[in-house]
């Protein structure tokens, strides 16, 4: 009997995933948010992560902008994300999602 590996958000995330799902400007802005430590976890589980992201002063290119609540869920079909800054039914992988993804990737490397 083979055991399936359990679902995990960090197993679904990679630099390639970010590049595939986010536009270049959101990657740049998300990196800036991440580098300024603007990720405040609410809940971090293997299959679900929720955090406040952003809310910094300054210009967008430096990570400035509004704070948003971001949620990632690991599903059998892949990673599902939601950012409160995205319009209804239009869930782009925005700068807030990118910042949280980089934070999770760094957290995975530290383990």
pLDDT tens, per residue, the chain with 111 residues: 444 557 899 999 999 999 999 999 999 999 999 999 999 999 999 999 999 999 888 887 777 888 999 999 999 999 999 999 877 767 789 999 999 999 999 986 554
pTM: 0.88
User: In this structure, what is the dihedral angle of CA atoms 29, 30, 34, 38, given to the nearest 10 degrees?
Assistant: 80
108 Cα distance to chain centroid: 13
Q: Is residue 2 part of a domain?
A: no
* Residues 46/111, Cβ–Cβ less than 8 Å: no
Residue span of the structural domain in which 60 resides: 9-110
Q: Is residue 1 part of a domain?
A: no
Q: Is residue 69 part of a domain?
A: yes
Q: Is residue 76 part of a domain?
A: yes
Q: Is residue 45 part of a domain?
A: yes
Q: Is residue 23 part of a domain?
A: yes
**74: Cβ contacts below 8 Å, ≥ 6 apart:** 7, 8, 9, 11, 12, 46, 47, 48
Q: How many structural domains does the chain have?
A: 1
Q: Is residue 4 part of a domain?
A: no
């Amino acid at each position: 009997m083979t055991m399936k590996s359990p679902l995990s958000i960090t197993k679904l995330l990679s630099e390639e995933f970010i590049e595939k799902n986010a536009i270049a400007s959101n990657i740049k802005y998300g990196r800036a948010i991440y580098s300024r430590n603007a990720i405040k976890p609410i809940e971090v589980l293997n299959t679900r992560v929720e955090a406040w992201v952003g809310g910094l002063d300054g210009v967008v290119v430096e990570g400035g902008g509004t704070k948003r609540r971001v949620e990632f869920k690991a599903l059998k079909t892949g990673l599902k994300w939601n950012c409160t800054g995205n319009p209804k039914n239009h869930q782009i992988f925005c700068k807030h999602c990118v910042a949280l993804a980089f934070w999770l990737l760094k957290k995975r490397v530290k383990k």
